[in-house]
């Protein structure tokens, strides 16, 4: 059923309409018109996917010790995705709203992630451990079995495959549930995996409501781990379900990340990166630099630069050449973001620029929010404390480093922080004092498949990416052998 306008679920190596045969229209966030139809899966489809996964895990070659063979299949998959980069980027742009340039970058990141973990697939190994007596001890690293992956809508394919790829490299069979709003790229990816030679049932994609499909996956004894990327609220529910079943869970949740600008910083570079860090992807980034904390000595010049860059951003449908910021993903998200801005005004915030829906001409049809900068908000305002997940920057200032650290850490989140300074000592001491899983010095939010990505505090548990990520989808078994020989060494 999959063409570029109709998308089926992908279970057991084939496309299917799903048990209920239900579909939903997929809206283009740039104009809120339907351009495709996607199958909506059910709990029954989730169970069918688990069954197909378990069968493939036990009966196909995938989970064997031949990591090199898995690596080759994954490299073929990366190659096919690279060849179809434009097609997947277009799907992502039309479904999520992001610019084609951003989407093309996302797909490149997915290709690189698959290549990176493919290189680790044949490097999983155990240890031999000296023990007393006539004994021999060693460890085995085994795949977990069937792993579930639940993804959000802001980087639909990138965040799905960020955890799916290492789980596959470790020899697991996977069931992926993409976000309800943005299932298209993941559904198309299922077919690609099959074409690249992954055995039927090793990668299954079941779109559908989180409360139904997601929960059916986690409650089923065949599911052996969960990787979740999404909001803190749903993350709590996932953790509770995982606890019921004593299931390993990786949680990549939200953020309210501070950007600290010290008086000696290169203000031009800092301003460009601040704008990039909050207005890329229309601000819908878990690690958006959404709180600007600037030293009072450079507050005025920095805010003037940020304001001018924000006002210069070209808004429009992501498919158009030269557009720098697309719409937010849905009308609901638009209303949520504007609700935060309204509340910020009531809390005494001064809207330096933006603060409303873009209503000029054809932009009025879509979910476009003007790039927004708000100053002078009290620390307890919701726009300072809560994740808005839209193009809204809250700014405040500090007098010294202690105050900067106190403000930066005064949040329940701990995903990311950025520091702008040329002073080595301040940079490294802040890197240690900031409570965040990732600290970038003189760089906007930037990550690579080889660098760990994870949050502190309520931003999550565990990590994705990095050299250890494939291992995290395995379990360790210790084997002790008593070979009954002489007790002493000759
Ligand atoms: P969300 O939590 O609403 O949904 C995420 C996924 O969970 C979706 O697939 C959804 O269908 C599913 N889901 C919902 N209820 C469920 C349930 N009861 N059981 C199982 N699955 C369920 O998040 P969203 O709105 O799609 O994404 C935005 C959020 O994601 C933001 O908070 C953002 O910060 C976070 N995020 C975090 C990271 C990270 O790496 N830390 C990356 C991107 C996004």
What residues does CATH 3.40.605.10 cover in the chain?
6-253+459-477
Ligand 1 and 445: CB distance under 6 A: no
Ligand 1 and 208: CB distance under 6 A: no
What residues does CATH 3.40.309.10 cover in the chain?
258-441
Residue 269 DSSP SS3: helix
Question: Closest ligand 1 atom, CA of 179?
Answer: 9
Q: From its phi and psi, is residue 340 left (phi > 0), alpha (psi between -120 and 50) or beta?
A: alpha
**What is the DSSP code string of 393-424?**
EEEEEESSHHHHHHHHH-SSEESEEEEE-S-H
258-441 adopts what CATH topology? Aldehyde Dehydrogenase; Chain A, domain 2 (3.40.309)
Ligand 1 and 211: CB distance under 6 A: yes
Ligand 1 and 170: CB distance under 6 A: no
Ligand 1 centroid to 235 CA: how many Å? Answer: 7
Q: Is this prediction's pTM over 0.75?
A: yes
Ligand 1 and 252: CB distance under 6 A: yes
pLDDT at position 4, please?
85
Q: Classify residue 313 by burial, with Cβ atoms within 10 Å: 0-12, 13-18, 19+.
A: middle
Range list of H helices, 246-330: 267-279, 299-312
Ligand 1 centroid to 234 CA: how many Å? Answer: 6
- The owner of tokens 């570079």 is 269
Closest residue by Cα to atom 26, ligand 1, is 152
| Active site residues per annotation | 252, 286
Distance in angstroms between the alpha carbons of the first and the last residue of the chain = 70
Ligand 1 centroid to 227 CA: how many Å? Answer: 11
Pocket test for ligand 1, best of 231, 257, 280 (most atoms within 8 A of CB): 231
Closest residue by Cα to atom 31, ligand 1, is 231
Ligand 1 and 201: CB distance under 6 A: no
Distance CA 462, CA 469 (A): 10
Q: Is the dihedral of CA 143, 148, 150, 151 positive or negative?
A: positive
Ligand 1 centroid to 287 CA: how many Å? Answer: 14
Q: Which two tokens stand for residue 330?
A: 């849905």
Q: Any bridge partners for residue 204, and if so which?
A: 175
Cβ–Cβ < 8 Å for 213, 197: no
Query: Residue 375: in which H helix or E strand, if any?
Result: strand 372-375
Ligand 1 and 457: CB distance under 6 A: no
Cβ–Cβ < 8 Å for 248, 225: yes
pLDDT at position 485, please?
78
Q: Classify residue 379 by burial, with Cβ atoms within 10 Å: 0-12, 13-18, 19+.
A: exposed
pLDDT at position 1, please?
37
Closest residue by Cα to atom 42, ligand 1, is 286
Ligand 1 centroid to 247 CA: how many Å? Answer: 19
Ligand 1 centroid to 473 CA: how many Å? Answer: 20
User: Parallel, antiparallel, or unpaired: how do β-strands 438-441 and 416-420 relate?
Assistant: parallel
Pocket test for ligand 1, best of 180, 206, 234, 252 (most atoms within 8 A of CB): 234
Ligand 1 and 283: CB distance under 6 A: no
Distance from chain centroid for Cα 386 = 19
Q: Where are the beta strands (DSSP E) in 173-222?
A: 173-177, 203-205
pLDDT at position 490, please?
57
Question: Closest ligand 1 atom, CA of 217?
Answer: 20
Ligand 1 centroid to 429 CA: how many Å? Answer: 33
**317: phi then psi, degrees, rounded to nearest 5:** -60, 135
Question: Closest ligand 1 atom, CA of 255?
Answer: 34
Closest residue by Cα to atom 35, ligand 1, is 230
pLDDT under 70: residue ranges of the chain: 1-3, 487-490
Ligand 1 and 254: CB distance under 6 A: yes
Ligand 1 centroid to 402 CA: how many Å? Answer: 34
Ligand 1 and 317: CB distance under 6 A: no
Q: Classify residue 312 by burial, with Cβ atoms within 10 Å: 0-12, 13-18, 19+.
A: exposed
Cβ–Cβ < 8 Å for 267, 298: yes
Nearest to 42 by CA among 228, 177, 236: 177
Question: Closest ligand 1 atom, CA of 235?
Answer: 2
Helix 100-118 crosses helix 156-169 at what angle (to 10 degrees)? 10
Ligand 1 and 158: CB distance under 6 A: no
CA distances from 252 to 31, 108, 233, 238, 376 (A): 30, 21, 12, 11, 30
Q: Give residue-wise pLDDT tens across range 42-84.
A: 999 999 999 999 999 999 999 998 999 999 999 999 999 999 9
Distance CA 180, CA 30 (A): 18
Ligand 1 and 177: CB distance under 6 A: yes
CATH class given for the domain over 6-253+459-477: alpha beta
Q: Which two tokens stand for residue 411?
A: 């949040």
């Amino acid at each position: 059923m999959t063409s570029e306008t109709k998308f089926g679920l992908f279970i057991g190596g084939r496309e299917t309409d799903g048990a209920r045969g239900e579909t939903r229209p997929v809206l283009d966030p740039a104009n809120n018109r339907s351009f495709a139809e996607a199958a909506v899966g059910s709990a029954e489809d989730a169970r069918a996917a688990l069954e197909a996964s378990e069968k493939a895990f036990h009966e196909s070659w995938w989970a064997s010790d031949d990591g090199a063979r898995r690596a080759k299949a994954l490299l073929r998959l990366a190659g096919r995705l690279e060849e179809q980069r434009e097609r997947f980027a277009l799907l992502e742009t039309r479904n999520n709203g992001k610019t084609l340039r951003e989407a093309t970058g996302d797909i490149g990141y997915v290709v690189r992630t698959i290549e990176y973990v493919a290189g680790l697939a044949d490097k999983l190994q155990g240890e031999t451990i000296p023990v007393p007596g006539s004994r021999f001890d060693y460890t085995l690293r085994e795949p977990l079995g069937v792993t579930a992956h639940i993804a959000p809508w802001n980087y639909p394919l990138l965040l799905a495959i960020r955890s799916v790829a290492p789980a596959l490299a470790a020899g697991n069979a996977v069931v992926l549930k993409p976000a309800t709003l943005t299932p298209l790229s993941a559904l198309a990816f299922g077919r690609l995996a099959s074409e690249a030679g992954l055995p039927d049932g090793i990668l299954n994609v079941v779109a559908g409501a989180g409360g139904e499909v997601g929960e059916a996956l986690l409650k089923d004894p065949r599911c052996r781990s969960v990787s979740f990327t999404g909001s803190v609220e749903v993350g709590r529910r996932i953790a509770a379900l995982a606890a019921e079943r004593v299931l390993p869970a990786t949680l990549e949740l939200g953020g309210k990340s501070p950007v600290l600008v010290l008086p000696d910083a290169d203000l031009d570079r800092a301003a460009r990166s601040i704008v990039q860090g909050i207005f890329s992807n229309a601000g819908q980034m878990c690690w958006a630099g959404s709180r600007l904390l600037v030293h009072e000595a450079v507050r005025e010049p920095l805010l003037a630069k940020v304001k001018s860059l924000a006002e210069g951003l070209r808004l429009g449908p992501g498919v158009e050449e030269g557009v720098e910021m697309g719409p937010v993903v849905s009308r609901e998200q638009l209303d949520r973001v504007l609700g935060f801005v309204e509340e910020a005004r009531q809390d005494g915030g001064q809207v330096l620029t933006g603060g409303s829906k873009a209503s000029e001409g054809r932009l009025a049809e879509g979910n476009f929010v003007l790039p927004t900068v708000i100053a002078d908000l009290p620390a307890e305002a919701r726009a300072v404390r809560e994740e808005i997940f839209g193009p809204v920057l809250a700014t405040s200032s500090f007098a010294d480093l202690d105050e900067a650290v106190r403000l930066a850490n005064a949040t329940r989140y701990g995903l990311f922080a950025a520091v702008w300074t040329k002073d080595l000592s301040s940079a490294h001491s802040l890197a240690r004092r900031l409570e965040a899983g990732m600290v970038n010095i003189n760089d906007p939010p930037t990550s690579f498949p080889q660098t760990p990505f994870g949050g502190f505090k309520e931003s999550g548990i565990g990590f994705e990416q990095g050299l250890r990520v494939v291992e995290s989808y395995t379990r360790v078994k210790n084997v002790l052998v008593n070979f009954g020989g002489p007790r002493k060494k000759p």
